[in-house]
Amino acid sequence: MQFPGRHVAILGLGKSGYESALFLKRKGYEVFVSDSANRADVCERAALLEKNGIQVETGSHTHERILHSDWILISPGISPQTPIFRAAGARKIPLFSEIEVASRYCPTSQIIAVTGTAGKTTVSTLIARIFSKAGLPVISCGNIGNPWVGEISKIGKDHFVVLEISSFQLATSESFHPRVAILLNLSPNHQDWHADMEEYVEAKLRLFRNQIETDYAIIRKEDKDRFFPTVDFSAQTIYFDRNIDDQGLAACQNTNEVVVCLVARLFGISDALSHPVIRAFEGIEHRLEQVACWRQVSYVNDSKCTSPASLVWALEKFPDSKVILIAGGHPKIEDFSSLRPWISRKVKHAILVGEARELLRRSWNGACPLYEVLDFRDAVVQAHGFAGAGDIVLLSPACASFDMFQNYEERGKVFKSIVRELTGSKESLPASEVTPTR
């Protein structure tokens, strides 16, 4: 399937925008890249692209230059509410994601795509590790950190691609067709990007739109009944939250493990191989990563927690009334009141930081002692001061990071650096000591 023309504008110069620019340039497209930011990382990538003969602008979007393109590749960080997104829509210029570009050039059809409100990274990582352990050629990419389009040159016809994919990427996909499509869960999220929950669900369901009867759709029956009861799937549908005992998966500790084993079985990989890989899983950086244990206080980095559902999942891992919570950042929803039962039961003190601090205070007022802090370092220092023996200082923001940081990785690294300074710890504890991740 061809794109609408050879002149393409790429909006956003993060990892996916950068890799897409290089890829499309190699494919003979005339590429123009625009990013409204002027951060050091953006300017560094811009300089590298210019060395490759690609035109770049930073600090603003020149609308007329962009809107004279045949089509636009839009990065997931640019929401439909931005002026350039709206202007492109008004001109009816086709918008595509990096996922759409990669899918049209990928030489293999063996795509296993994982989406959902929470748990995508862990499930994607485990599937890829099990396939690798089984001796199958596999590449894990996408929203997990390395854009799919940047991996195309490494992928052969026999490869499996395990793809973590977000609702942002799905919203501007058209022909993307995964062999196995997995929707782990749904809960309110990204209301700063999607107009409402209905639009969010519609974006997620685009994962299944091009599947055929020989493909597989793996979903929760609970989600279908609640959010899309009238939607039918062309693919073979597997409900992983029903009849687990009948499928012989009762030994799995959680539904994410059930999904991983189900996918492995579809390709002839036995539970005898899958289960040891799951048990040996050391966790993922910034996902309930235990940074230090000092004077019987545990310090846990869960910076990857950017949604209420992820915060609930994290809090459930710890004893009642023992969590010193650091939460806040850029809010993706308008009300966090649904979290009050968990905040009341699990959290001893909550330190609120970033753009969301007032919103969180209004949502959680009375659930536990709340403290608003302007500076991230001060938040960590204050949490450290509150903690006593047996407590857990937990960074689990339930919000995006880009009000104060470039991404959740930077937020987590800053947290770890401050904790190590305060406790004298040089590095994270061994992975085996970390609570199992989602």
As a whole-number percent, the residues of the chain with pLDDT over 90 amount to 72
Which of 218, 227, 219 is CA-nearest to residue 196? Answer: 227
Which of 396, 388, 402 is CA-nearest to residue 355? Answer: 402
Report whether 98 contacts 31 (CB < 8 A).
Answer: no
Measured distance CA(115)–CA(11) in Å, rounded: 23
pTM of the full structure: 0.79
* pLDDT tens figures, 42-70: 999 999 999 999 999 999 999 999 999 99
Q: Which residues have CB under 8 Å from 426's CB, separation 6+?
A: 420
Q: Which residue type sits at 74?
A: I
The backbone region for 101, taken as left when phi is positive above 0, alpha when psi lies in -120 to 50, beta otherwise, is alpha
Q: Which of 96-100, 142-146, 317-321 has the lowest mean pLDDT?
A: 142-146
| Structure-block tokens of residue 434 | 């970390």
| Structure-block tokens of residue 83 | 């002026």
| Structure-block tokens of residue 403 | 């009000």
* pLDDT tens figures, 231-283: 999 999 999 987 555 566 766 778 889 999 999 999 999 999 999 999 998 77
Domain boundaries along the sequence of the chain = 7-96, 100-279, 289-429
Pairing relationship of beta strands 323-328 and 111-115 according to DSSP bridges: unpaired
Domain 7-96 part of CATH 3.30.450.40: no
As a whole-number percent, the residues of the chain with pLDDT over 70 amount to 93
Measured distance CA(438)–CA(435) in Å, rounded: 10
Return the SS3 of 383.
helix
- Report helix angle 98-105 to 15-26, nearest 10: 40
Measured distance CA(90)–CA(254) in Å, rounded: 45
Fold of 289-429: Protein-Tyrosine Phosphatase; Chain A (3.90.190)
β-bridge partners, 35 = 58
Measured distance CA(284)–CA(262) in Å, rounded: 22
Tell me the C-alpha to C-alpha distance, in Å, between residue 120 and each of 39, 220, 350, 426, 433.
28, 14, 27, 30, 22
Q: Which residues have CB under 8 Å from 292's CB, separation 6+?
A: 298, 299, 419, 420, 423, 425, 428, 429
Pairing relationship of beta strands 30-35 and 55-58 according to DSSP bridges: parallel
Q: Which residue type sits at 313?
A: W
Q: Which residues have CB under 8 Å from 356's CB, separation 6+?
A: 327, 328, 329, 330, 331, 336, 398, 399
CA end-to-end span of the chain: 37
Q: Is the pLDDT of residue 415 over 70?
A: yes
Superfamily, domain 100-279: Mur-like, catalytic domain (3.40.1190.10)
* pLDDT tens figures, 185-242: 887 644 555 567 888 888 899 999 999 999 999 999 999 999 999 999 999 999 998 7
Range 301-313 average pLDDT: 89
Maximum distance among all Cα pairs of the chain, rounded to whole angstroms: 63
Matching residue, tokens 């308008």:
334
